Amino acid sequence: MRVSSSLIVLAVFIAAGFVSFFGASFAVEAVETRSVDAIAMAMEKNDHDWVEVEADGLQVHLSGTAPNEATRFRALAIAGGIVDAARVIDKMQVEDSALIEAPKFAVEILRSGDGISLIGLIPAATDRATILDTINAVAGDTPVIDMLESADHPVPEGWDASLAFGLQSLRKLPSSKISIAADRVAITASSESIPEKKRIETELARKVPSAVELVLNIKAPRPVVTPFTLRFLIDANGAKFDACAAQSEEARDRIIKAATAAGMESKANCILGLGVPSPRWAEAVEKGILALKDMGGGSITYSDADVTLVALDTTSQATFDRVIGELETALPDVFSLHSVLPEKVKIDGTGEGSGPPEFIATRSPEGQIQLRGRLTDERVRNAVESYARARFGKDSVYAATRLDEALPDGWPVRVLAGVEALAELLSGSVIVQPDIVEVRGITGNPETNSTISRILSDKLGEAENFNIEVTYDKKLDPLLGLPTADECVEQLNAVLNQRKISFDPGAATFGADSVEPIDKLAKLMTNCSDFEMQIGGHTDSQGREEMNLDLSQQRADAVLTALMSRRVLTSALTAKGYGETVPIADNDTEDGREANRRIEFKLLTDDTAAATTTPGTDVADEPVAEGTTGTGTTDEQN
pLDDT score at 32: 67
| 3-state SS class at 52 | strand
Q: Do 448 and 372 share a structural domain?
A: yes
- DSSP states of 156-225: PTTHHHHHHHHHHHHTT-SSEEEEEESSEEEEEEE-SSHHHHHHHHHHHHHHS-TTSEEEEEEE-PPPB-
b/e for 458-478, b at 16 or more Cβ within 10 A?
A: bbbeebbbbbbebeeeeebbe
pLDDT score at 635: 43
Quick check: 447 and 197 in contact, CB under 8 A?
Answer: no
Q: Cα Rg for the chain, rounded, in angstroms?
A: 42
Name which of 319, 324, 323 is nearest 336 in CA terms. 324
Which are the contacts of 355, defined by CB distance < 8 A and separation ≥ 6?
346, 348
Domain carrying residue 420: 359-476
Q: Do 233 and 215 share a structural domain?
A: no
Q: Do 282 and 162 share a structural domain?
A: no
Q: Is residue 432 part of a domain?
A: yes
Residues facing 367 on adjacent strands:
none
Residues facing 594 on adjacent strands:
none
Instruction: Determine what percent of the chain is predicted with pLDDT higher than 70.
Output: 86
What CATH number should be reported for the domain holding residue 77?
A: 3.30.1340.30
Q: Is residue 345 part of a domain?
A: no
Indicate the angle between helix axes 249-261 and 281-295, nearest 10 degrees.
10
CA dihedral angle for residue 348, residue 349, residue 355, residue 358, rounded to 10 degrees? 150
CA dist 537 and 440 (Å) reads 48
What CATH number should be reported for the domain holding residue 457?
A: 3.40.1520.20
Q: Do 425 and 543 share a structural domain?
A: no
- DSSP states of 335-372: -EEEEE-PPP-----SS-SSSS--EEEEE-TT--EEEE
Q: Do 60 and 34 share a structural domain?
A: yes
- How many other CB atoms are there within 10 angstroms of residue 64's CB atom? 16
pLDDT score at 10: 55
pLDDT score at 205: 85
Name which of 448, 508, 496, 492 is nearest 472 in CA terms. 448
Domain count, the chain: 5
Q: Is residue 594 part of a domain?
A: yes
Q: Do you know the residue count of the chain?
A: 638
Strands 437-443 and 466-472: parallel
pTM (2 d.p.)? 0.57
Which are the contacts of 272, defined by CB distance < 8 A and separation ≥ 6?
222, 245, 246, 247, 248, 249, 252
CA dist 75 and 71 (Å) reads 6
CA dist 504 and 25 (Å) reads 117
Strands 427-432 and 397-403: unpaired
Q: Do 457 and 586 share a structural domain?
A: no
Q: Is residue 638 part of a domain?
A: no
Whole-Å CA distances, 274 to 62, 107, 248: 74, 37, 9
Of the three residues 42, 70, 94, the one that is the final residue of a domain is 94
pLDDT under 50: residue ranges of the chain? 1, 12, 18-19, 21-28, 98-100, 606-636
Name which of 213, 212, 98, 100 is nearest 151 in CA terms. 100
Which are the contacts of 25, defined by CB distance < 8 A and separation ≥ 6?
none
Q: Is residue 273 part of a domain?
A: yes
Q: Do 122 and 89 share a structural domain?
A: no
Quick check: 205 and 197 in contact, CB under 8 A?
Answer: no
pLDDT score at 83: 80
Q: Do 623 and 518 share a structural domain?
A: yes
Listed in order, strand segments (DSSP E) in 57-133 are 59-66, 88-94, 106-112, 115-123
Q: Do 611 and 565 share a structural domain?
A: yes
Cα 381 to the chain's mean position, in Å?
46
Strands 184-190 and 213-219: parallel
Of the three residues 62, 94, 126, the one that is the final residue of a domain is 94
- How many other CB atoms are there within 10 angstroms of residue 363's CB atom? 23
Which are the contacts of 56, defined by CB distance < 8 A and separation ≥ 6?
89
Q: Do 490 and 626 share a structural domain?
A: yes
Q: Is residue 542 part of a domain?
A: yes
Maximum separation of any 2 CA atoms in the chain, in Å: 171
pLDDT score at 611: 47
What CATH number should be reported for the domain holding residue 280?
A: 3.40.1520
Indicate the angle between helix axes 159-170 and 194-207, nearest 10 degrees.
150
Name which of 155, 176, 153 is nearest 166 in CA terms. 176
Q: Is residue 449 part of a domain?
A: yes
Q: Do 267 and 242 share a structural domain?
A: yes
b/e for 268-292, b at 16 or more Cβ within 10 A?
A: eebeebeebbbebbbbbbbbbbbbb
CA dihedral angle for residue 43, residue 46, residue 51, residue 54, rounded to 10 degrees? -10
Of the three residues 55, 74, 94, the one that is the final residue of a domain is 94
What CATH number should be reported for the domain holding residue 519?
A: 3.30.1330.60
- DSSP states of 275-332: --S-TTHHHHHHHHHHHHHHHTSEEEEEETTEEEEEE-TT--HHHHHHHHHHHHHHS-
Q: Is residue 408 part of a domain?
A: yes
CA dist 579 and 597 (Å) reads 9
Q: Do 606 and 491 share a structural domain?
A: yes
Is the link from the previous residue into 365 a cis peptide, with omega within 30 of 0? no
Strands 245-246 and 238-243: unpaired
Identify residue 464 by its one-letter amino acid code: E
pLDDT score at 463: 56
Quick check: 179 and 106 in contact, CB under 8 A?
Answer: yes
